[in-house]
Structures are given as structure tokens and as C-alpha cells.
Amino acid sequence: MNLEEEYQKKLDYLYTFIDYSLTRDMRYTSDKFNLERMHKFLASMGDPHKAYPVIHVAGTKGKGSTAALITSALEISGLKTGFYTSPHLQDYCERIQIDLKPIPHEIFIELVDYMTPFIEQVKEITTFELTTALAFLYFQKQVVDIAVMEVGLGGRLDATNVVDPVVSVITSLSLDHVNVLGDTLAKIAYEKGGIIKPDRPVVIAPQKEEARIVLEKIAEERNSPLIQVGKDYLYAAASHDLDKQSFYVWPKEEQSLVNKYIESAGRDEWEPVRLQIPLLGFHQVQNAATAFVALETIRNYGIKIHLDAITRGFSEVNWPGRFEILSKRPLIVIDSAHNRESALRLRNAIDDYFPGMPKVLVFGASEDKDIQGMLIELIPRVKTIVATKSTHPRAVQPEVIVNYALQFGLRGIQTSSIEEGLETALRLAGDEALILVTGSLFVAAAVRDVWLSRKSKDAVSQK
């Protein structure tokens, strides 16, 4: 058996366990999501998650981007940095990285083999718990200096929530997974706020009041220093184009200096920190400001990272599938928006970067998402909806999306595959319209893969 066959065999083994990400009916309760089970499993392997400091990142929107920005800056600073994220775009091993390089397949195989006898001692363990443990173990064995762990779902009962972080980070919260986490912002904030640890600082992105009140209460009860972006640190967009954007960020104590800088029209000798990111859309400015504040916070806890490393790390971050301009001719934008709030942010970004341009929407989503809500936000900017689906088990059937399109008075075209959906959109868009792909990271990733494969084949045929 060759390496790739063995790798697939180990993946298949992990998928034989309970995988709630593939389950249509899931209850987010302590009998299903049990941290005691995770603690027991990790203890049997020597508690690998305690071998290095951790930055723990939760949130509804922007947690992946924020975690990626933090990781990029840490890696540039010379720290050997573990990064755990989900889901993946193409290869499962993208979920577990050191210095932004996915775990090699051969090491993945070795670690699954190492864990197997310990797995047999723990009942009802899940695929996500096993993957999380594998990441902890990999980071320990490779002796990382620090790890950035992104929460999978929620926070309070998430498998990653066994860590005692140097800082917790909570990005923007909105309604998502309402059947699992709760149907109000307060309930969701309670679940996400579960990652806040006693006496450990927590950085939170700007929040709606309902969520902010809950997070503030949890931080106070746990004596956790609370740093709020938009209150304790402020930020403002500076400039943007189709390749990058820049922004300013400063602590509130420097507001008088910022006022002088503004009054001087930028001619003052002092200026606030200005950073540049290749991630587009104003929402990414908020994510980057949150990442910056998290990095500033860990400086106070003995982790040395200089501003020049943050500057370079932010400018070089690679986080595909999030308002990514996949092609400029034809113009194709893919985005992982998967709830109503993120669809609104996407619409705002489209208005900012491509005002007045006709748009063909390629849309596919999971059946548990607020499909109607997402479409309500997007249809004012769309002339045609091309309904498609990924291969994910929870993908909604395209005819459901077409029915929504008809209800909104739009033309809806049903396609049976990602390839057919993209081809249909290319034909409809011609040379004048923007093709916007969204509704699910799985759909965005699949279109990305199809398009890049197509371009690669075209390049070979032209040689």
C-alpha cells in the first residue's frame, strides 16, 4: 500500500467515529459534547495540550481570518507556531499546520497509529475530538513555541476548550447554528463565551449589545481582563483596491494624538499604527484589528513579538475562499458567507468594490442554514441565481434554492454539480457581469478547485 492509500485509510478510520459535522440532526448538549471525555483521552497520552502556550479563537464570523492573521504574524516573528482550523478547503491535513505548512501525510499516519490504542479506551469519541487531539499531539511532538487554536463549533463544549490559553479571542457574533447553539444572540454569546478562562485576558471584537452584555458578565465573573476592540482599541480604514487594503489601529489613550494627526491631514510627525492586509472587505479590517489587539495582549504575558513582524505577517497572510477574487477576466469572486449577517457583509463589500456591475450569483448552502435570509441580503444586487450543491451530505438540493429565487421574482437555474454551475454562470455572465459564488465554504472551495484545475489544464494545452 502506497503513502496516499494509507493516508486515505487513516482518514476513513477517523470518519468511522461520530462526525456531527455530517449529521443532519445534532444536539449540542453535554451528553454529546463532553469535555470530560476529551480530558480523559488527552490525559491518557500525557496531556499534550499543556506543553505550549495557546491562543484560543472563537466567534461566528471572522474567527478563521483572525486566527490566520495571528498565526502569520507569530510565524514571521520567528516563533514555531501551530495552527488548528476547520474546515479545510482541499486536504484534511490543512486543518493542522506548523509554520503555515500542513501536517505531512506520513506524520498524520504515524500519529493516528500512535493514538489508536488510546482511542479504544474512550467510548463515544468523535471525529472532531480525535482530530483536535491529533493536532495537540503533533504540536507537542514538534515542540512548537505557541499554538493558535480555532474553535470548531460554539465554544463552551467544543473539544478545543480543554486549553488554558494565554488569551482568548472572540470575533463577531451573530445568529448561526441556531438549532444547536440557541436562537438568540445572548444564548450564542453564552456558548462562545465559554472559552473565557479565569484570570486570563479575553479580546472581543465589536459586538451587538445583546452579545456584548453576556460576554462582559462572563469576563467579570471569571476575573478575566477584558479588552474590547472598538472601545479599548479603535480602528479605521485607510485605503483599498482589488489586491489589498490598509487600516489604522490605536489604543484609546492615543485618541488625542490621532485627532492631531487627522487635523494635520497626515502631516503630523506622529501617526497611528498602519497595517496592510490582502484580505478584502471592511469586515476584514475588523478581524485584523482584533488579531492585532490579541497580539498586543500576549506581549504582556512574556511572548515577544515586534510590530515589524505583525506588519509583515498581516501583509503576507494567505486565507483563500474569503472574498477572494479568483479571476479578474472573467471576474469571479468566491466567499464563504454562510449566514444572513455574513451575506450582508458580503453585499456591502460587493457594493464597495464593484458598484453598479451586474452580478450572476452561484449559490449553494447547507440545509440547516438560513437560506432565505442570505438570499434576502444578496438578491438586491443579483440578476440571476445559479443554484448548485457541493458533495457535502448536508448540502441543500438546488431546486430548493430555485424555488426561493422564484419567490423573490428572480430567474433561478438549477444545476446538478459545481462544474455545471460554474459553466452556466460563465455563459450567463459573458464579459460584463461579475460571478459571485457563496452560501457555503464547501461551495466556494469546490468552485475554486474547479477553476484552478481548468486554468492549469489551459496552461498545459497552450505550451
pLDDT band at 409 (very low <50, low <70, confident <90, very high): confident
Q: Are 304 and 59 in contact (CB under 8 A)?
A: no
Which pairing describes strands 54-58 and 146-150: parallel, antiparallel, or unpaired?
parallel
State residue 12's pLDDT score. 92
Q: Are 418 and 406 in contact (CB under 8 A)?
A: no
> What does pTM read for this prediction?
0.91
Residue 362 has pLDDT above 90, yes or no: yes
State residue 270's pLDDT score. 85
Residue 122 has pLDDT above 90, yes or no: no
Residues 158, 51: Cα–Cα separation, whole Å:
20
State residue 33's pLDDT score. 64
pLDDT band at 76 (very low <50, low <70, confident <90, very high): very high
Residue 24 has pLDDT above 50, yes or no: no
pLDDT band at 346 (very low <50, low <70, confident <90, very high): very high
Q: Are 130 and 160 in contact (CB under 8 A)?
A: no
Residue 444 has pLDDT above 50, yes or no: yes
Residue 11 has pLDDT above 50, yes or no: yes
- Torsion of the alpha carbons at 401, 407, 411 and 413, rounded to the nearest 10: 20
* DSSP state, residue 146: E
Q: Name the more confident of 177 and 342.
A: 342
Residues 99, 90: Cα–Cα separation, whole Å:
18
The angle subtended at Cα 50 by Cα 216 and Cα 169, nearest 5°, is 25
Q: Are 174 and 342 in contact (CB under 8 A)?
A: yes
Structural domains in the chain plus CATH codes: 3-235+272-315 (3.40.1190.10), 324-461 (3.90.190.20)
Q: Whole-number mean pLDDT of the chain?
A: 91
State residue 462's pLDDT score. 62
- Determine what percent of the chain is predicted with pLDDT higher than 90: 73
pLDDT band at 179 (very low <50, low <70, confident <90, very high): low
Residue with cell 510590530: 307
pLDDT band at 253 (very low <50, low <70, confident <90, very high): very high
Q: Are 57 and 146 in contact (CB under 8 A)?
A: no
pLDDT band at 264 (very low <50, low <70, confident <90, very high): confident
Q: Are 171 and 61 in contact (CB under 8 A)?
A: yes
Residues 92, 131: Cα–Cα separation, whole Å:
10
State residue 152's pLDDT score. 92
436 to 66, 155, 389, 456: CA distances (angstroms): 23, 31, 15, 21
